[in-house]
Amino acid sequence: MENSKEFIIPSGVKRNAQKGLTLREKFGRGSTEVGIRRGHQLVNNESVSLEIIKKMSAYFARHAVDKQAKDFGNDENPSKGYIAWMLWGGDEAQEWTDKIKKDYSK
């Protein structure tokens, strides 16, 4: 079954998720419980399912607008959206999940 396929989490995605967890801890803001769980999942696991890949791709599509916020990308005073974006694996995860989703929707 296609949805049972597992994908190795790239190191850049893990790094970004760890950064998101660190920023969330430091600033006490950004993301929902789902995003925090996703950050831990990306940091602590070797792979994720196609179902998770699709959820991640959908997250990035919905939240791309967050990148326009003041302090998106500012590590000294990050926006809530930036922290959440990083918890989900950041730009590297967006590229990775979008490519997989495209490849598996053919």
Give the ranges where 45-87 is alpha helix by DSSP (H). 50-63, 80-87
pLDDT in tens, 80-90: 999 999 999 99
What is the domain partition of the chain in residue ranges? 2-104
- What band does 2 get if pLDDT is binned at 50, 70 and 90? low
Residues 53-65: what's their mean pLDDT? 96
**Is 17 in contact with 38 (CB distance < 8 Å)?**
yes
Is the pLDDT assigned to residue 60 strictly greater than 60? yes
Name the average pLDDT for the chain.
94
Q: What is the pTM of this model?
A: 0.93
Give the residue-averaged pLDDT of 71-79. Answer: 96
- Check pLDDT > 80 for residue 1: no
